[in-house]
Amino acid sequence: MLGEQSRVRSKRRGVSGKDEAGVGVLALGSHDERHGAILPPDTDAKLAAHIALEAAKRTGAKFIGILLSSHELPFIDTGEHHPMAEVLSELRGKLKEAKRVLGLRAVVLVNAHGGNKPLRKHLRRLERESGLKLAFNTRIVDVEGPHAGTGEVSAGVVVGIGDPTKLGEHTNFEKYPEVGFVGFKRAREVYPWAEEHAREVSERGIHVDEELGRRLVEEAIESVVRDIRRLKSFRGSK
Protein backbone atom coordinates (compact mmCIF):
# COMPACT_ATOMS: atom_id res chain seq x y z
CA MET A 1 0.00 0.00 0.00
CA LEU A 2 2.76 2.43 0.92
CA GLY A 3 4.61 1.59 -2.29
CA GLU A 4 1.51 2.31 -4.33
CA GLN A 5 1.00 5.66 -2.58
CA SER A 6 4.63 6.58 -3.30
CA ARG A 7 4.19 5.79 -6.98
CA VAL A 8 1.04 7.92 -7.12
CA ARG A 9 2.82 10.87 -5.49
CA SER A 10 5.73 10.53 -7.92
CA LYS A 11 3.38 10.47 -10.88
CA ARG A 12 1.68 13.65 -9.66
CA ARG A 13 5.04 15.42 -9.40
CA GLY A 14 5.97 14.25 -12.89
CA VAL A 15 8.77 11.99 -11.65
CA SER A 16 8.56 8.74 -13.59
CA GLY A 17 11.56 6.79 -12.34
CA LYS A 18 14.33 4.75 -13.84
CA ASP A 19 13.90 5.66 -17.52
CA GLU A 20 14.50 9.36 -16.88
CA ALA A 21 17.31 8.49 -14.45
CA GLY A 22 19.35 7.47 -17.50
CA VAL A 23 19.15 11.06 -18.77
CA GLY A 24 21.41 13.83 -17.49
CA VAL A 25 20.76 17.56 -17.49
CA LEU A 26 23.74 19.91 -17.88
CA ALA A 27 23.48 23.70 -17.62
CA LEU A 28 25.40 26.03 -19.96
CA GLY A 29 25.76 29.77 -19.42
CA SER A 30 28.25 32.57 -19.18
CA HIS A 31 29.74 33.23 -15.73
CA ASP A 32 31.28 36.64 -16.40
CA GLU A 33 29.11 38.77 -18.66
CA ARG A 34 27.83 42.27 -18.04
CA HIS A 35 24.04 42.49 -17.64
CA GLY A 36 23.47 46.10 -16.67
CA ALA A 37 22.67 47.22 -13.12
CA ILE A 38 19.86 44.82 -12.20
CA LEU A 39 21.41 41.45 -13.03
CA PRO A 40 24.70 39.80 -11.93
CA PRO A 41 27.54 38.83 -14.31
CA ASP A 42 26.64 35.13 -14.00
CA THR A 43 22.97 35.64 -14.87
CA ASP A 44 23.03 33.13 -17.73
CA ALA A 45 24.72 30.47 -15.62
CA LYS A 46 22.23 30.91 -12.79
CA LEU A 47 19.20 30.91 -15.08
CA ALA A 48 20.42 27.78 -16.86
CA ALA A 49 21.11 26.03 -13.55
CA HIS A 50 17.67 26.96 -12.18
CA ILE A 51 15.88 25.67 -15.28
CA ALA A 52 17.99 22.51 -15.53
CA LEU A 53 17.63 21.61 -11.85
CA GLU A 54 13.87 22.18 -11.80
CA ALA A 55 13.41 20.04 -14.92
CA ALA A 56 15.52 17.30 -13.32
CA LYS A 57 13.41 17.45 -10.15
CA ARG A 58 10.17 17.14 -12.12
CA THR A 59 11.30 14.12 -14.12
CA GLY A 60 13.86 12.16 -12.10
CA ALA A 61 16.65 12.97 -14.57
CA LYS A 62 20.10 13.55 -13.08
CA PHE A 63 21.32 17.12 -12.71
CA ILE A 64 25.02 16.89 -13.56
CA GLY A 65 26.10 20.48 -12.95
CA ILE A 66 27.13 23.42 -15.07
CA LEU A 67 29.79 24.05 -17.68
CA LEU A 68 32.37 26.65 -16.62
CA SER A 69 33.42 27.91 -20.05
CA SER A 70 31.27 29.75 -22.57
CA HIS A 71 31.61 31.09 -26.11
CA GLU A 72 30.63 34.45 -27.59
CA LEU A 73 29.87 35.78 -31.06
CA PRO A 74 32.22 38.24 -32.77
CA PHE A 75 31.64 41.96 -32.08
CA ILE A 76 29.80 41.28 -28.81
CA ASP A 77 32.15 42.32 -26.02
CA THR A 78 30.18 41.79 -22.83
CA GLY A 79 32.76 40.04 -20.65
CA GLU A 80 35.08 37.05 -20.41
CA HIS A 81 34.38 34.17 -22.77
CA HIS A 82 36.36 31.34 -24.35
CA PRO A 83 37.34 29.95 -27.76
CA MET A 84 34.99 27.32 -29.12
CA ALA A 85 37.74 24.69 -28.92
CA GLU A 86 38.05 25.27 -25.17
CA VAL A 87 34.31 25.01 -24.62
CA LEU A 88 34.13 21.82 -26.67
CA SER A 89 37.03 20.31 -24.75
CA GLU A 90 35.37 20.93 -21.38
CA LEU A 91 31.99 19.73 -22.64
CA ARG A 92 33.48 16.58 -24.17
CA GLY A 93 35.19 15.72 -20.89
CA LYS A 94 32.05 16.38 -18.85
CA LEU A 95 29.93 14.16 -21.07
CA LYS A 96 32.39 11.28 -21.03
CA GLU A 97 32.67 11.50 -17.25
CA ALA A 98 28.88 11.52 -16.87
CA LYS A 99 28.57 8.37 -18.93
CA ARG A 100 31.44 6.60 -17.16
CA VAL A 101 30.48 7.49 -13.59
CA LEU A 102 26.69 7.61 -13.81
CA GLY A 103 26.00 5.27 -16.71
CA LEU A 104 23.91 7.87 -18.52
CA ARG A 105 22.45 7.21 -21.96
CA ALA A 106 21.53 10.78 -22.93
CA VAL A 107 22.03 14.38 -21.82
CA VAL A 108 20.01 17.56 -22.31
CA LEU A 109 22.22 20.64 -22.59
CA VAL A 110 20.27 23.55 -21.11
CA ASN A 111 21.73 26.73 -22.56
CA ALA A 112 20.87 30.24 -21.32
CA HIS A 113 23.65 32.13 -23.15
CA GLY A 114 23.14 33.24 -26.74
CA GLY A 115 26.85 33.09 -27.53
CA ASN A 116 26.80 29.32 -27.00
CA LYS A 117 24.33 28.69 -29.81
CA PRO A 118 27.09 27.77 -32.34
CA LEU A 119 27.66 24.64 -30.21
CA ARG A 120 24.62 23.16 -31.90
CA LYS A 121 26.54 22.34 -35.07
CA HIS A 122 28.99 20.20 -33.07
CA LEU A 123 26.36 17.97 -31.43
CA ARG A 124 26.59 15.00 -33.79
CA ARG A 125 30.36 14.77 -33.34
CA LEU A 126 29.98 15.06 -29.56
CA GLU A 127 27.43 12.23 -29.68
CA ARG A 128 29.85 9.98 -31.55
CA GLU A 129 32.70 10.80 -29.17
CA SER A 130 30.71 10.39 -25.96
CA GLY A 131 28.30 7.62 -26.90
CA LEU A 132 25.45 9.77 -25.54
CA LYS A 133 22.34 11.04 -27.25
CA LEU A 134 22.22 14.84 -26.90
CA ALA A 135 19.58 17.54 -27.01
CA PHE A 136 20.51 21.23 -27.12
CA ASN A 137 17.79 23.29 -25.45
CA THR A 138 17.99 27.08 -25.80
CA ARG A 139 14.35 27.87 -25.11
CA ILE A 140 15.05 30.56 -22.51
CA VAL A 141 17.34 32.39 -24.95
CA ASP A 142 14.74 32.13 -27.70
CA VAL A 143 11.89 33.61 -25.64
CA GLU A 144 13.49 36.15 -23.29
CA GLY A 145 14.17 38.83 -25.92
CA PRO A 146 16.94 41.47 -25.78
CA HIS A 147 20.05 41.01 -23.66
CA ALA A 148 19.27 42.30 -20.14
CA GLY A 149 15.93 43.55 -21.47
CA THR A 150 12.46 43.21 -19.96
CA GLY A 151 12.23 39.45 -20.44
CA GLU A 152 15.61 38.54 -18.99
CA VAL A 153 15.34 41.09 -16.18
CA SER A 154 11.89 39.78 -15.24
CA ALA A 155 13.07 36.16 -15.29
CA GLY A 156 16.06 37.10 -13.15
CA VAL A 157 13.91 38.84 -10.56
CA VAL A 158 11.53 35.87 -10.41
CA VAL A 159 14.31 33.35 -9.71
CA GLY A 160 15.84 35.66 -7.11
CA ILE A 161 18.97 36.98 -8.82
CA GLY A 162 17.80 40.45 -9.90
CA ASP A 163 17.50 43.72 -8.00
CA PRO A 164 14.49 45.67 -9.35
CA THR A 165 15.38 48.75 -7.28
CA LYS A 166 18.17 49.43 -9.79
CA LEU A 167 15.84 49.75 -12.78
CA GLY A 168 16.49 53.48 -13.21
CA GLU A 169 20.24 52.96 -13.36
CA HIS A 170 19.87 49.91 -15.60
CA THR A 171 18.58 51.98 -18.51
CA ASN A 172 21.58 54.31 -18.51
CA PHE A 173 22.83 53.06 -21.87
CA GLU A 174 26.01 55.13 -21.74
CA LYS A 175 27.04 53.36 -18.54
CA TYR A 176 25.60 49.98 -19.58
CA PRO A 177 25.92 49.79 -23.39
CA GLU A 178 25.46 46.01 -23.23
CA VAL A 179 21.79 46.35 -22.27
CA GLY A 180 19.92 45.43 -25.43
CA PHE A 181 23.29 45.86 -27.19
CA VAL A 182 22.24 49.48 -27.61
CA GLY A 183 25.84 50.72 -27.45
CA PHE A 184 27.34 47.94 -29.60
CA LYS A 185 27.42 49.71 -32.95
CA ARG A 186 29.35 47.05 -34.89
CA ALA A 187 27.21 44.20 -33.57
CA ARG A 188 24.09 46.10 -34.59
CA GLU A 189 25.51 46.51 -38.09
CA VAL A 190 26.46 42.84 -38.43
CA TYR A 191 23.50 41.11 -36.77
CA PRO A 192 19.97 42.16 -37.81
CA TRP A 193 18.55 40.64 -34.62
CA ALA A 194 20.91 42.81 -32.52
CA GLU A 195 19.64 45.93 -34.27
CA GLU A 196 16.05 44.79 -33.69
CA HIS A 197 16.73 44.18 -29.99
CA ALA A 198 18.49 47.52 -29.56
CA ARG A 199 15.58 49.36 -31.15
CA GLU A 200 13.08 47.51 -28.98
CA VAL A 201 14.91 48.45 -25.78
CA SER A 202 15.48 52.06 -26.87
CA GLU A 203 11.89 52.63 -27.95
CA ARG A 204 9.94 50.59 -25.39
CA GLY A 205 12.25 50.84 -22.42
CA ILE A 206 12.69 48.11 -19.80
CA HIS A 207 10.40 47.17 -16.95
CA VAL A 208 10.05 44.38 -14.42
CA ASP A 209 7.06 42.13 -15.11
CA GLU A 210 7.04 39.23 -12.68
CA GLU A 211 4.12 37.51 -14.40
CA LEU A 212 6.09 37.57 -17.65
CA GLY A 213 9.19 36.33 -15.85
CA ARG A 214 7.34 33.37 -14.34
CA ARG A 215 5.83 32.52 -17.71
CA LEU A 216 9.19 32.58 -19.49
CA VAL A 217 10.93 30.46 -16.85
CA GLU A 218 8.08 27.94 -16.75
CA GLU A 219 8.03 27.68 -20.55
CA ALA A 220 11.78 26.98 -20.54
CA ILE A 221 11.49 24.35 -17.80
CA GLU A 222 8.67 22.53 -19.56
CA SER A 223 10.65 22.56 -22.80
CA VAL A 224 13.53 20.81 -21.04
CA VAL A 225 11.11 18.33 -19.45
CA ARG A 226 9.86 17.42 -22.93
CA ASP A 227 13.42 16.87 -24.12
CA ILE A 228 14.14 14.61 -21.15
CA ARG A 229 11.06 12.50 -21.82
CA ARG A 230 11.88 12.31 -25.51
CA LEU A 231 15.38 11.01 -24.76
CA LYS A 232 14.45 8.53 -22.02
CA SER A 233 13.91 5.68 -24.49
CA PHE A 234 17.41 6.02 -25.99
CA ARG A 235 19.36 2.92 -24.99
CA GLY A 236 22.84 4.30 -25.57
CA SER A 237 25.98 2.66 -26.93
CA LYS A 238 28.93 0.88 -25.41
Backbone angles phi, psi at 144, to 5 degrees: -80, -20
- Range of the structural domain that residue 57 is part of: 11-231
Q: According to the model, what pLDDT value does residue 21 have?
A: 84
Specify if 180 maps to a domain.
Answer: yes
pLDDT in tens, 101-132: 999 999 999 999 999 999 999 999 999 999 99
Q: According to the model, what pLDDT value does residue 223 have?
A: 98
pLDDT in tens, 67-81: 999 999 999 999 999
Q: Which of 30, 23, 91 is nearest to 56 (CA)?
A: 23
Number of domains making up the chain: 1
Specify if 5 maps to a domain.
Answer: no
Specify if 6 maps to a domain.
Answer: no
Continuous H helices in 172-209: 185-190, 192-204
**What CATH number has the domain bearing residue 168?**
3.40.50.10310
Residue 8 has a CB neighbour count (10 Å cut-off) of 10
Specify if 42 maps to a domain.
Answer: yes
Specify if 238 maps to a domain.
Answer: no
Q: Is the pLDDT at 238 greater than 80, yes or no?
A: no
Q: According to the model, what pLDDT value does residue 18 have?
A: 64
Instruction: Classify the C-alpha dihedral 72-213-47-235 as positive or negative.
Output: negative
Specify if 114 maps to a domain.
Answer: yes
Virtual torsion, Cα 84, 89, 90, 93, nearest 10 deg: 150
Q: Label the pairing between strands 62-66 and 106-111.
A: unpaired
Specify if 2 maps to a domain.
Answer: no
Q: Please check whether residue 232 is in contact with residue 135, taking contact to mean a CB–CB distance below 8 angstroms.
A: no
Q: Which helix (H) or strand (E) holds 108?
A: strand 106-111
